Amino acid sequence: MAGRAATWSAKWARELLLKRVSSNPPLHGAIRNCSSSAPGASSTPKVPHFSKKGRILTGATIGLAIAGGAYVSTADEATFCGWLFSATKVVNPLFALLDAEFAHKLAVTAAARGWVPREKRPDPQILGLEVWGRKFSNPIGLAAGFDKNAEATEGLLGLGFGFVEVGSVTPVPQEGNPKPRIFRLREDGAIINRCGFNSEGIVVVAKRLGAQHGKRMLAETSSPSDEVKPGGKSGPGILGVNLGKNKTSEDAAADYVQGVHNLSQYADYLVINVSSPNTAGLRMLQGRKQLKDLVKKVQAARDEMQWGDDGPPPLLVKIAPDLSRGELEDIAAVALALKLDGLIISNTTLSRPEPVSNSPVATETGGLSGKPLFNLSTNMLREMYTLTRGKIPLIGCGGVSSGEDAYKKIRAGATLVQLYTGFAYGGPALIPQIKEELVSCLERDGFKSIQEAIGADHR
């Protein structure tokens, strides 16, 4: 174990350094002004340029890798795993020095390349639960929007999330809205984005998910049963696929149906996203008649496909936090009448609750996520649990950055909980921290399982 880890650390450091060197453009301006332009002069070697921020980030990462390789020789696997997660607390703040969207892409690349810690410690039994006939080792998931194109599902699931949701995926590739389109409000633990469903499209995502699914199937058939951890179609952990519509599409239902036909075979659950504020007209699909017609068409498309013993993937709808009581009642009625498998509450908000309203960045258009969204989304979650009488699994999303936050969502009626902005700021170390804090909350109030705590505030 120690030898493998040390070798991995050295290889990781070498690969990162080589990638950094090869990806930096030469100083063309300097070369043009050198004497090499004289006849007969030899060409000047291309020297890579390292920005100050780049040197800091690269040096810190390599240092951690080398230190990890040395440390592992004296530590057991669980201890070393904990050290790796803790070490990310040093690297993660450096991402704040980078442009927000570039930092996001770098984080996705790191997860895709395996440059993130992998959770080797089993989740506490008290966190396990079964939803839709699928076993979740813990209720903490990563929301859609982080891995839009399913580039890093294996690495993200390996971080210890109970489930990961990719997307939103549109049928045809589209660039999304013009940049800049992601804005940090670091003091408030918030982000405003107006990405607009930037997606590589269904074909690319289906290829990636198909490869991951094939890898999982190969592992199940070629390895002893006790070596393959239980999970979903893409490996340990549950995978959700979030479907969107193209900006120029005139038939929203056709877009979602196309997503079902191409991606549902790789999904442990599907999500219809009708609540992003960054695609014109999308939120109108949350109206009672529009939502009912849309869900019926998507359900029919899913159910007409051939499925094995596990049956078709559950179908959920993700809704906005800016809805009136009457609109919530309409959505609840549709969900109950059509036996929808779940609701995700909620997407980003167009409102600017305090203290965000006092920030100059608050004037940027787009959806607000993070800590300021917590109360709004949790109150809405509580209302929807009442309206659906606890009959439909709800996923609480919005402002979760601690185990206590997750616990409040669960008590308000959430069966599962998702985070995104909290993860962007806290990094991989936040995941085991949230799970540990959640266990403490459950034990403090005398609950023996997550299931017992769901909707506790309503009893």
Q: What is the pLDDT of residues 260-280, one digit of tens each?
A: 999 999 999 999 999 998 888
Lowest mean pLDDT among 229-233, 282-286, 429-433, 454-458: 229-233
pLDDT bin (cut points 50, 70, 90) of residue 78 is confident
Express each pLDDT in 316-331 by its tens digit.
Answer: 999 999 999 999 999 9
Strand pairing partners for 356? none
Q: Give yes or no for residue 77 having a pLDDT over 80.
A: no
Helix (H) or strand (E) holding 216: helix 202-222
Cα separation of 120 and 164, whole Å?
17
Pick the closest to residue 57 from 103, 26, 14, 101 (CA basis): 103
Query: Is the pLDDT reported for residue 301 higher than 90?
Result: yes
pLDDT (mean) for 94-103: 91
Inter-CA distances, 150 with 208, 343, 400, Å: 7, 22, 23
Q: Which region among 26-30, 393-397, 444-448 has the lowest average model confidence (pLDDT)?
A: 26-30
Query: In angstroms, what CA-CA distances link 423 with 24, 155, 157, 189?
Result: 28, 14, 14, 10
Residue of 9, 199, 249, 276 marked active site: 276
Query: pLDDT higher for 38 or 168?
Result: 168
Domains present along the chain, CATH in parentheses: 77-453 (3.20.20.70)
Look up the pTM and report it: 0.83
Distance CA 345, CA 383 (A): 11
* SS3 of the chain: helix, strand, coil, percent, to 5: 50, 15, 35
Minimum mean pLDDT range among 72-81, 227-236, 299-308, 372-381: 227-236
Lowest mean pLDDT among 49-53, 139-143, 207-211: 49-53
- Across 279-352, the runs of DSSP E, i.e. the strands, are 315-319, 342-345
Per-residue confidence at 216, pLDDT binned at 50, 70, 90? confident
| Buried b / exposed e along 198-234 (16+ C-beta atoms within 10 A) | bbbbbeebbebbeebbeebeeeeeeeeeeeeeebbbb
Alpha carbon distance 378, 405 (integer Å) = 10
According to the model, what pLDDT value does residue 17 have? 41
Q: Which of 76-85, 177-186, 239-248 has the lowest mean pLDDT?
A: 76-85
Omega of the bond leading into 401 within 30 degrees of 0 (cis): no
% of the chain at pLDDT higher than 70: 81
Q: Is 276 a catalytic residue?
A: yes
How far apart CA 184 and CA 43 sit, in angstroms, is 44
User: Is the backbone of residue 278 left (phi > 0), alpha (psi -120 to 50) or beta?
Assistant: alpha
